[in-house]
């Protein structure tokens, strides 16, 4: 087989070009400290990196949702704690007032005024708002004040609804954001029975024309209703605590998965500095050897043998 000098030249130039491309790629990897700079560097690993980055973005959004929801639940918990304390104080005041044998009419009027003030505090807690001005306990109608006094009906009415707001905190997992507080003060539905009967009792106690015998039954009934409301509010703590604990566990799980994904991303994409340096030196040596060989071969001629 005859090998022409042109073939030798083309082969040498091709080899130099291939080695030069490899050197350029290795230098790029060292400069960026990334093994994969374009998908063609490693198509399989590049596909895996896209999947991991998508998963990391989703986890980041879930963690953001968990942070926001945890803050919202903590705010609700603070206001429900206030309601619980107010109900305890209300119960103590009712027990004291129920000992009517040692109280004058003026004393009972004073109790009535205190009950009215406690009622206002309870209503204010139910009408609590977040930092954005949205109402915490009005269901999905966050721009509507939950409880108002309706002059036409002469009673407290609930303007919110029983809808639920949910936040996605993991793939396929939603957690309820709002808490149905109005049910804790209602006999059935959202009638606010406890608040309305407390209002009626307070008015009776402040009426100088009435004696304790005129509202003794109402006072005893109010003691029972306040106890029921206190138990209902305590149940809300259990529900809130369960949701908070679930958020904590999901948050920890997201953190663990995110850390594991970060490690896989580094393993797939980061440059192995030692290996890359060795390969760069090898290809540099190869270019030098190829250049030297090409130079020596190009000087060969049959005429020099004559």
Q: Tell me how far apart the alpha carbons of residues 145 and 142 are, in angstroms, rounded to a whole number.
A: 8
Question: Do residues 86 and 121 make contact, with C-beta atoms less than 8 angstroms apart?
Answer: yes
Mark out the alpha helices in the chain (DSSP H runs): 5-32, 43-98, 105-126, 193-205, 212-269, 273-298
Question: Do residues 254 and 170 make contact, with C-beta atoms less than 8 angstroms apart?
Answer: yes
HSE-CB for 139 with a 13 A CA cutoff: 13
What pLDDT is stored for residue 277 in this prediction?
60
Q: Tell me how far apart the alpha carbons of residues 301 and 87 are, in angstroms, rounded to a whole number.
A: 109
DSSP string, 100-125: GGG--HHHHHHHHHHHHHHHHHHHHH
Tokens of residue 294, six digits: 């090409």
Q: What is the DSSP letter of 224?
A: H
| Sequential pLDDT tens for the chain (306 residues) | 455 555 556 666 666 566 666 666 656 666 666 767 677 777 888 888 889 999 999 999 999 999 999 999 999 999 999 999 999 999 999 999 988 666 788 888 999 999 999 999 999 999 999 989 999 999 999 999 999 999 999 999 999 999 999 999 999 999 999 999 999 999 888 999 999 999 999 999 999 888 888 888 999 999 999 999 999 999 999 999 999 999 999 999 999 999 999 998 887 876 655 565 666 566 666 666 666 666 666 665 555 545
What pLDDT is stored for residue 1 in this prediction?
47
**List of residues 6+ apart from 213 with CB closer than 8 A:** none
| Domains and their CATH numbers in the chain | 71-264 (1.20.1330.10)
Q: Tell me how far apart the alpha carbons of residues 162 and 150 are, in angstroms, rounded to a whole number.
A: 20
């Amino acid at each position: 087989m005859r090998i022409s000098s042109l073939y030798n030249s083309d082969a040498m130039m091709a080899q130099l070009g291939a080695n030069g491309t490899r050197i350029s790629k290795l230098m790029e990897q060292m400069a960026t400290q990334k093994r994969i700079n374009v998908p063609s560097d490693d198509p399989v690993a590049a596909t895996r990196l896209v999947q991991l980055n998508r998963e990391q973005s989703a986890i980041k959004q879930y963690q953001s949702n968990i942070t926001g929801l945890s803050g919202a639940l903590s705010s609700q918990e603070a206001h429900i704690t206030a309601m619980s304390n107010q109900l305890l104080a209300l119960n103590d005041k009712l027990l004291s007032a129920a000992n009517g044998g040692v109280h004058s009419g003026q004393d009972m009027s004073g109790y009535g005024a205190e009950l009215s003030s406690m009622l206002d505090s309870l209503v204010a807690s139910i009408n609590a708002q977040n930092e954005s001005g949205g109402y915490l306990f009005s269901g999905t109608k966050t721009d509507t004040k939950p409880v108002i006094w309706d002059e036409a009906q002469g009673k407290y009415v609930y303007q919110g609804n029983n809808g639920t707001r949910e936040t996605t905190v993991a793939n396929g997992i939603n957690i309820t954001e709002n808490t149905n507080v109005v049910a804790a003060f209602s006999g059935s539905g959202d009638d606010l029975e406890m608040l309305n009967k407390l209002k009626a009792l307070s008015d009776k106690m402040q009426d100088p024309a009435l004696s304790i015998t005129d509202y003794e039954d109402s006072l005893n009934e109010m003691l029972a209703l306040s106890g029921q409301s206190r138990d209902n509010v305590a149940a809300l703590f259990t529900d809130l605590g369960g949701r908070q604990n679930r958020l904590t566990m999901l948050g920890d799980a997201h953190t663990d998965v995110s850390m594991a994904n970060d490690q896989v991303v580094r393993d797939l994409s980061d440059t192995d500095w030692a290996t890359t340096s060795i390969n760069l030196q090898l290809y540099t040596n190869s270019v030098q050897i190829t250049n030297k060989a090409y130079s020596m071969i190009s000087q060969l001629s049959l005429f020099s043998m004559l």
